[in-house]
Amino acid sequence: MNWRTLLKQTLVVGLVAAVTIPPLATAREPQVGEKMAAVELYWATREPEDVARRAHALAELVAGRTLEAKSIAKMLQQRGRPGRWMSVGQGTELKLKYVPEFDELRVINRALADLEDAGDIGEKRAIELADQYLQALAGRNLIDVNALNMNNVQVGYAKVGAGVKDESFKSEQITEYRITLRHEINGVQLANAGMRLAIHASGKLAGIRLGGVSARGIFDGATFVPGGEGHFVERRVSDKDTEVRFRESIPKEAEVDVAWARMMYVMPDDTEALVVEPMRVYSYTLQFSTEKGERVSSRRKIVGYSLTEAKASAFDFTAPAEQHDGQDRTRTK
């Protein structure tokens, strides 16, 4: 069944299919006056057999050898271990976990995690290998290779170091290139879905993280068509306007260090399903000076601004509880 047929069937019977979010090769962020999709996001509940199938395939890819599917399925059924790391087989360094609330699979090869002095293929080669692993995952029906944009990757690093306290010796090396690809919806990244490939400095696959939130809708040609409660909205607020509001929100006595700011879909924490519009999202740190002249940094704050309502309150994805604890008793010593 092709996408066009699926679209027709969906329109006829009024059903909405939940599909892997497709990318747009030529997609770009919507500008003011253009349409953008408000998408219904939800955390999918996956059948145990499907989880086991996917876990087995990921584990084999990371292990680089065949593994017994039954043992992995049995392992995933262990009571009291949902969302926890489990060793795949006796005496192996392969660890796996499935986090059901985030429909997320992770596999790591502990033997490679801190393996040093195994050469260094470099970042460029690691990205090329990530692309190849992406194709391998697609070949096992774990992802739609078109759903992730290899031209828009984020690269982090695993590093190990050691030394003597008197500083007579110290060393550091990169052990992994950690390549993250987030799903995109019509050119807009989704914070809560994607994959991360850990490419060991030797070129071996050291780990995979795969999964995240799902979106209701279907893909028609180059456009993702929102389904369920989703719909199209018009972008009315520019980046310049959100930038002004963001800067005005910073306390006068503080400076701000912005880690990143981009248009994004973000599923708020502790939410089962929600129609989400793209927002202009800021990930930043506030920095204050103490009376002693020390500089102190806040923990990271992540705040989103509406792109459809210029005066809508900013949404704080890292908001503290309304009531702080610890005020109900007095410590005396």
Partner 1 sequence: MQHENRKVTPSSIRHRLIAMGIGLGLSLCLLAQAVQAVGPTYWIDESTDFTGNGCANADLNNVTSSLRDRLNSEGWTGTRWSNANAWPEDFIEQDFGGIDHVAGDSKTLSVYAGHGNRALLQFGFQRNGRCTVSLDASSRHGTQGGDEAAYMMYVTSCTINKDSLSRHFDQAVRQSFGYHNSPSVKDNQPREFYEETDNTDNDIAWREEMEDRPGWFTGDNSPITLTFGTSSSHCSLVKDLARLRANNLLSDAPAPDAWYCYSMFDNGQSGC
User: What is the footprint of partner 1 within residues 193-232 (CB under 8 A)?
Assistant: 193-196, 209, 212-213
Quick one: which of 120, 137, 154, 7 has its CA closest to 59?
137
Nearer to partner 1, 46 or 231 (CB): 46
Q: Could you say which of 136, 273, 301, 308 contacts partner 1 (CB under 8 A)?
A: 301
Q: How many of the chain's residues bind partner 1 (CB under 8 A)?
A: 78
Residues counted in the chain: 333
Residue 65 near residue 112, CB atoms below 8 Å: no
Q: Which is nearer to partner 1, 104 or 277 (CB)?
A: 104
Distance in angstroms (rounded) separating the CA atoms of residues 290 and 296: 7
Give CB contacts under 8 A, 24+ apart, made by 66-74: 72/96, 73/48, 73/49
Among 70, 234, 287, 309, binds partner 1 (CB under 8 A): 287
In the list 39, 76, 108, 134, the residue contacting partner 1 (rule: CB under 8 A) is: 108
How far apart CA 98 and CA 44 sit, in angstroms, is 13
Minimum distance between the CB of residue 186 and partner 1, rounded to whole angstroms? Answer: 18
x-or-dash string of contact with partner 1, 32-61, rule CB under 8 A: -----------x------------------
Q: Which two tokens stand for residue 79?
A: 């009571």
Cβ distance to partner 1 smaller for residue 34 or 316: 316
CB of 102 to partner 1, least distance (A): 4
**Per CB under 8 A, does 280 bind partner 1?**
no
Cβ proximity to partner 1: between 219 and 265 the closer is 265
Interface positions, 135-194, toward partner 1 (CB under 8 A): 154, 156-167, 175, 178, 180, 182, 191-194
For the bound state, the minimum distance from the C-beta of residue 155 to partner 1, rounded and expressed in Å, comes to: 9
